[in-house]
């Protein structure tokens, strides 16, 4: 963070200053366990905790100022609503960074793939700042903005949507130079009345948050995303659109994958850049948001991803498109893409234990689309060994939840997984549907708790097995994944 005075923070956040105006803050966070000296401590009130109770701990850790919604016994800025004040503060801070230097702001949304695409971009782009984990909501995204430095040239933001208006709020804080839409699936469908069309309309509002002259990068392989090319805001103020996807009959693609193949669960393809697609690069010293087109010849390069799962082709093409748009050469993009690996925890990370059991850990999040993709990756990775899926509940599905979990069971049987172990009452319909589809005995099992699942696996696993662990984060199944990885022969 660029150093900020307490007076500046109070004015930007609309709060009342109850501290020395010249106190200088050099970072901002809401977790006392990772605060640094000189920090602004953000006292958030959650469902099960009250950050105000930890102000003294924050001060001991080095916090010099607190953002609070009630008076505390420490220098603070008093506001009515802490998360809203953090949003105001982040908006003002981003405007300050834009006024003082060259900065490209990149926003990514989609039902699947946001974090992986962000992780790829942190390995492709220079001078980049991006979220930790999946900080993409009304608090996490502004916190990410506040972590940018004056030296940051590429600010990559994940933008999540759980209800109508979420993306408009986030882009109001951080107007975008580049907006990326990956997919419209069924994750968080409960917040949109079970309507994929409602979710698609929400995702499309990301494009309304583009600055004049901004660039939209859209996945042509997803019909709902492709339809966003008609979003009225894209026709205004010099905005441009790039499409990416698998090469074939269809719309013209700025960035494409040709000759897609898979081996061992990893995708290989020829990356192609279209001669018709300009590379957009910021002009040094110009007004931020201005772009200049520099035409490039069509180029091709062989790429083999280190990421497990053919579905990551979407994330790779999106990241390549952004990197090209930011001015990297085609050959640099191809080379860095082939070298990029998984960064975030519980995201299709493949580890072989000392006893010969391989764990495919994708336990951070889950949707029907990502679950099916993970099953297919499991089959490819397992090769001649047993393919075992340990699955938990997919949350925030609303009224579609039962049918979505039943589809998981059907998919597991039809793909001939050797075992699907369903964990928790919320995911139980997956077990029931697997049995109805013709799976019984050793092919399907149910555990009411993680402890039961752990006991079952202890006696079941043997060398050569590949075990996928996948569920929504809130199910807690990631804890089982961690335990499986800690075990030795």
pLDDT in tens, 377-401: 999 999 889 999 999 999 888 888 9
- Predicted confidence band of residue 286 (pLDDT cuts 50, 70, 90): very low
Based on the domain organization, do 335 and 357 belong to the same domain?
no
Is residue 320 assigned to a domain? yes
pLDDT computed for residue 384 by the predictor:
87
- Predicted confidence band of residue 289 (pLDDT cuts 50, 70, 90): very low
Based on the domain organization, do 460 and 482 belong to the same domain?
yes
Instruction: Please write the tens of the pLDDT for every residue from 163-190.
Output: 899 999 999 999 999 999 999 976 555 5
pLDDT computed for residue 190 by the predictor:
57
**Partners of 470 in beta bridges:** 362, 391
Fill in the DSSP letter of residue 83: H
pLDDT computed for residue 364 by the predictor:
86
- Predicted confidence band of residue 281 (pLDDT cuts 50, 70, 90): very low
- Measured on CA atoms in the order 444, 446, 451, 455, is the torsion positive or negative? negative
Residue 418 has pLDDT above 70, yes or no: yes
Residue 334 has pLDDT above 80, yes or no: yes
- Predicted confidence band of residue 229 (pLDDT cuts 50, 70, 90): very high
In angstroms, the CA 197 to CA 212 distance is: 27
Distances in whole angstroms, Cα of residue 239 to Cα of each of 23, 216, 236, 243, 291: 41, 8, 6, 14, 10
Residue 351 CB coordination number (10 Å):
12
Q: Among residues of the chain, what percentage have pLDDT more than 90?
A: 78
Residue 295 has pLDDT above 60, yes or no: no
Based on the domain organization, do 290 and 208 belong to the same domain?
yes
Q: What is the CATH number of the domain that holds 371?
A: 3.90.190.20
pLDDT computed for residue 283 by the predictor:
30
Based on the domain organization, do 387 and 466 belong to the same domain?
yes
Which range of residues forms the domain containing residue 190?
101-339
- Predicted confidence band of residue 99 (pLDDT cuts 50, 70, 90): very high
Based on the domain organization, do 335 and 361 belong to the same domain?
no
Q: What is the CATH number of the domain that holds 224?
A: 3.40.1190.10
Instruction: Please write the tens of the pLDDT for every residue from 87-97.
Output: 999 999 999 99
Burial of 151 per CB tally in 10 Å (0-12, 13-18, 19+):
exposed
Based on the domain organization, do 322 and 187 belong to the same domain?
yes
The region of weakest confidence among 126-135, 296-305, 441-450 is 296-305
Is residue 228 assigned to a domain? yes
Based on the domain organization, do 44 and 119 belong to the same domain?
no
Is residue 76 assigned to a domain? yes
Q: What is the CATH number of the domain that holds 70?
A: 3.40.1390.10
Measured N-to-C along each axis, helices 166-173 and 82-100 cross at an angle, to the nearest 10 degrees, of 40
In angstroms, the CA 315 to CA 117 distance is: 5
In angstroms, the CA 265 to CA 377 distance is: 5
- Predicted confidence band of residue 193 (pLDDT cuts 50, 70, 90): low
**Partners of 389 in beta bridges:** 420, 468
Between these two residues, 320 and 367, which has the higher pLDDT value?
320
What does the mean pLDDT of the chain come to? 90
435 Cα distance to chain centroid: 34
Is residue 93 assigned to a domain? no
Is residue 149 assigned to a domain? yes
Which among 280, 313, 339 is the end of a domain?
Answer: 339
Is residue 205 assigned to a domain? yes
Which among 46, 81, 116 is the end of a domain?
Answer: 81
Based on the domain organization, do 57 and 105 belong to the same domain?
no
Fill in the DSSP letter of residue 47: S
Based on the domain organization, do 237 and 299 belong to the same domain?
yes
Instruction: State the pTM of this model.
Output: 0.86
Q: Residue 466: how many CA atoms within 13 Å on its side-chain side? A: 24
pLDDT computed for residue 347 by the predictor:
84
Based on the domain organization, do 219 and 72 belong to the same domain?
no
Between these two residues, 440 and 338, which has the higher pLDDT value?
338
pLDDT computed for residue 397 by the predictor:
83
What the block records as the tokens of 126 is: 């220079």
Instruction: Please write the tens of the pLDDT for every residue from 34-72.
Output: 999 999 999 999 888 999 999 999 999 999 999 999 999
Instruction: Please write the tens of the pLDDT for every residue from 128-169.
Output: 999 987 789 999 999 999 999 999 999 999 999 888 999 999
Based on the domain organization, do 267 and 370 belong to the same domain?
no
pLDDT computed for residue 185 by the predictor:
79
Which among 281, 305, 339 is the end of a domain?
Answer: 339
Residue 284 has pLDDT above 70, yes or no: no
What is the pLDDT averaged over residues 423-441? Answer: 87
Instruction: Please write the tens of the pLDDT for every residue from 237-278.
Output: 889 999 999 988 778 899 999 999 988 889 999 999 974 554
Contact between 101 and 129 under an 8 Å Cβ cutoff? The reply is: no
Residue 126 has pLDDT above 50, yes or no: yes
Fill in the DSSP letter of residue 437: T
446 Cα distance to chain centroid: 30
Contact between 272 and 255 under an 8 Å Cβ cutoff? The reply is: yes
Domain count, the chain: 3
In angstroms, the CA 133 to CA 129 distance is: 13
């Amino acid at each position: 963070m660029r150093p900020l005075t307490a007076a500046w923070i109070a004015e930007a956040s609309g709060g009342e200053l109850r501290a020395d105006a010249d106190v200088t803050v050099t970072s901002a966070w809401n977790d006392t366990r990772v605060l640094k000296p000189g920090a602004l401590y953000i006292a958030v009130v959650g469902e099960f905790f009250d950050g105000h109770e930890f102000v003294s701990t924050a001060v001991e850790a080095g916090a010099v100022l607190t953002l609070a919604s009630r008076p505390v016994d420490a220098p603070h800025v008093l506001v009515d609503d802490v998360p809203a004040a953090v949003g105001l503060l982040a908006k003002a801070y981003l405007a300050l960074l834009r006024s003082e230097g060259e900065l490209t702001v990149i926003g990514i949304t989609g039902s699947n793939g946001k974090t992986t695409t962000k992780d790829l971009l942190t390995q492709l782009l220079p001078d980049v700042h991006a979220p930790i984990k999946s900080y993409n909501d009304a608090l996490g995204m502004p916190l990410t903005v506040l972590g940018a430095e004056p030296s940051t040239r590429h600010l990559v933001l994940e933008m999540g949507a759980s209800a109508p208006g979420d993306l408009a709020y986030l882009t109001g804080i951080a107007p975008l130079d580049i907006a990326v839409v990956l997919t419209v699936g069924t994750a968080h469908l409960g917040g949109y009345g079970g309507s994929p069309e409602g979710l698609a309309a929400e995702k499309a509002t990301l494009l309304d948050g583009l600055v004049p002259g901004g660039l939209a990068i859209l996945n042509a392989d997803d019909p709902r995303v492709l339809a966003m090319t008609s979003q009225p805001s894209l026709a205004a103020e010099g905005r441009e659109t790039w499409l990416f996807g698998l090469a074939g009959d269809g719309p013209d693609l700025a960035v494409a994958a040709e000759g897609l193949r898979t081996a061992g669960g990893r995708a290989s393809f020829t990356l192609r850049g279209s001669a018709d697609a300009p590379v957009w690069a910021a002009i040094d010293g110009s007004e931020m948001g201005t772009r200049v087109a520099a035409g490039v010849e069509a180029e091709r390069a062989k790429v083999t991803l280190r990421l497990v799962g053919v579905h990551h082709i979407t994330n790779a093409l999106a990241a390549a498109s952004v990197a090209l748009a930011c001015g990297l050469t085609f050959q640099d993009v191809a080379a860095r893409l082939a070298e990029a690996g998984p960064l975030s925890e519980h995201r299709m990370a493949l580890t072989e234990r000392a006893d010969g059991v391989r764990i495919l850990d994708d336990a951070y999040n889950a949707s029907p689309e990502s679950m099916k993709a993970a099953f297919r990756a499991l089959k490819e990775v397992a090769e001649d060994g047993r393919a075992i899926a340990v699955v938990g509940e997919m949350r925030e599905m609303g009224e579609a939840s039962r049918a979505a979990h039943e589809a998981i069971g059907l998919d597991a049987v039809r793909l001939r997984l050797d075992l699907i172990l369903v964990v928790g009452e919320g995911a139980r319909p997956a077990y029931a549907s697997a049995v109805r589809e013709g799976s019984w005995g050793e092919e399907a099992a149910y555990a009411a708790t993680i402890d039961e699942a752990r006991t079952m696996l202890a006696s079941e696993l043997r060398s050569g097995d590949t075990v996928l662990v996948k569920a929504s984060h809130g199910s807690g199944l990631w804890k089982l994944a961690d335990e499986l990885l800690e075990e030795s022969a």
